[in-house]
């Protein structure tokens, strides 16, 4: 899942980035409200973590502008502990949740995961395709009775594919959401990662689940 963080304090921004990346999220950070608004309206993200106290255009102005444009991106506000009026105003403007500073990154991750599950309309604690399951809370993968050991990157790649069975993802989309970087046509990074993932989830005798769509990218099969 790709998360946009708009936070002007480098130490806090770094703390959030590290915590989210350790939990398998791809994170993009910007430091101003204007830059955050631009990215939220022109790029694809799964959620926005938005500080209220920003230089120039503040977080409430960004929030108001996004909702006026009918941008339905789930948004968590970061607020100062004593600013009750701002928290109330933010929720009235369309924020989905808020977190007061200082906070533990574990709480931010839990709130973010709950928000993403609510926004999807379905409980997404465990993803299932055929006999392959992915437990997003325990960070575990299984194929039938067999436990599969995955790196953080492999887990994120598999989660990205399993959230939309049957959908074909281009190498650029995979690179952006899993590596949080733009795709370089001169590298086979995505292909190598998919090959390694296949070896782990498709043992001898097990059905093939990941398809290569020539000239486009990859998909995980939608098994009836």
Distance CA 224, CA 207 (A): 14
- The pLDDT assigned to 124 comes to 53
Question: Residue ranges of the domains in the chain?
Answer: 2-120, 126-220
CA dihedral (117, 27, 67, 102) positive or negative:
positive
The topology (CATH level 3) of 126-220 is Arc Repressor Mutant, subunit A (1.10.10)
Helices and strands (DSSP H and E) totals, the chain: 8, 12
Pick from 68-82, 108-122, 153-167: least confident: 108-122
Q: Could you read off the pLDDT of 187-202 as tens digits, one per residue?
A: 788 999 999 999 999 9
To which CATH superfamily is domain 2-120 assigned?
A: Response regulator (3.40.50.2300)
Is the pTM higher than 0.75? no
Q: Could you read off the pLDDT of 93-117 as tens digits, one per residue?
A: 999 888 888 888 888 988 888 887 7
Joined together, the tokens standing for residue 171 give: 């190498």
Cα torsion 125, 196, 199, 1 to 10°: value is: 10
Residue 173 pLDDT exceeds 90? no
Distance CA 59, CA 82 (A): 16
Average pLDDT over residues 36-41: 95
Sheet strands (E) in the chain? 2-6, 26-30, 47-51, 75-80, 97-101, 126-129, 132-135, 140-143, 146-148, 169-170, 210-213, 217-220
Using the structure block, give the residue that is written with the tokens 């255009």: 57
């Amino acid at each position: 899942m790709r998360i946009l963080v708009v936070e002007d304090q480098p130490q806090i921004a770094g703390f959030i980035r590290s915590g989210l990346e350790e939990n398998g999220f791809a994170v993009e950070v910007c430091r101003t409200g204007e830059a955050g608004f631009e990215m939220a309206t022109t790029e694809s993200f799964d959620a926005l973590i938005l500080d209220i106290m920003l230089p120039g255009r503040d977080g409430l102005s960004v929030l108001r502008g996004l909702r006026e444009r009918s941008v339905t991106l789930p948004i968590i506000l970061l607020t100062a502990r004593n600013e009750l009026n701002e928290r109330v105003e933010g929720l009235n403007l369309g924020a989905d949740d808020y977190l007061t500073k200082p906070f533990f990154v574990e709480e931010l991750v839990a709130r973010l995961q709950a928000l993403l599950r609510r926004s999807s309309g379905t409980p997404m604690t465990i993803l299932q395709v055929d006999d392959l399951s992915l437990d997003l809370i325990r960070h575990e993968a299984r194929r039938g009775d067999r436990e599969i050991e995955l790196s953080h990157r492999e887990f994120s790649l598999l989660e990205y594919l399993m959230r939309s069975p049957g959908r074909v993802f281009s190498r650029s989309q995979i690179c952006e959401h899993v590596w949080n970087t733009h795709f370089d046509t001169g590298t086979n990074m995505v292909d190598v990662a998919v090959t390694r993932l296949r070896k782990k989830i498709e043992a001898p005798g097990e059905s093939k689940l990941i398809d290569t769509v020539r000239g486009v990218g990859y998909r995980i099969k939608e098994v009836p």
